[in-house]
Amino acid sequence: MTFLFKRCTMKLTVKDKDFLTQLRVLLDSKDLSIELKNDGLKRFVLRQNYGEKIESAFGLSRQGVRWRFQRLFNEIYVQAYCTIFWVESYFGTELRQMALEIAKEQITLRKEARKRGHFDDYRLKPAEK
């Protein structure tokens, strides 16, 4: 099986988090929607009104909203699943539950460290815990 595997080391930023939070609000209020577009290449698209309300809600131009949406949903989010698919094609799904446990632990540690104002504390080596 051959994969076109694009190395992806993109991290989510605070601006990404703020964008996703605002997007959730606009999706819930039906001001925006996310659809799957298939014109030979499937991808996520953001639909509805791109007027002043949307620009002011995000604090971005329409092009800025489109760019961040494209980056988050069609690059980072989809690439994460491509990576999972690639790993599981070699090792099966047996490791999935362990990976989820590790991810949940890292998220919990990151949140606890953030509350204390020590953003890198969650990265302690196992022997240091």
The answer as to whether 124 is a domain residue is no
Identify the weakest region by mean pLDDT among 3-17, 31-45, 55-69, 82-96: 3-17
Mean pLDDT within 99-121: 84
First to last CA, the chain: 41
Q: What is the number of other CB atoms lying within 10 angstroms of the CB of residue 61?
A: 12
Mean pLDDT within 89-108: 94
pLDDT of residue 7 exceeding 70:
no
Global confidence as pTM: 0.74
Ordered DSSP codes for 1-51: -------------HHHHHHHHHHHHHHHTTSEEEEEEESSSEEEEEEE--S
How many folded domains does the chain comprise?
Answer: 1
- In angstroms, the CA 112 to CA 49 distance is 38
The answer as to whether 100 is a domain residue is no
pLDDT of residue 3 exceeding 50:
no
The answer as to whether 5 is a domain residue is no
The answer as to whether 81 is a domain residue is yes
The answer as to whether 77 is a domain residue is yes
The answer as to whether 64 is a domain residue is yes
The answer as to whether 70 is a domain residue is yes
Q: What is the pLDDT of residue 126?
A: 55
Structural domain range at position 43: 14-92
The answer as to whether 118 is a domain residue is no
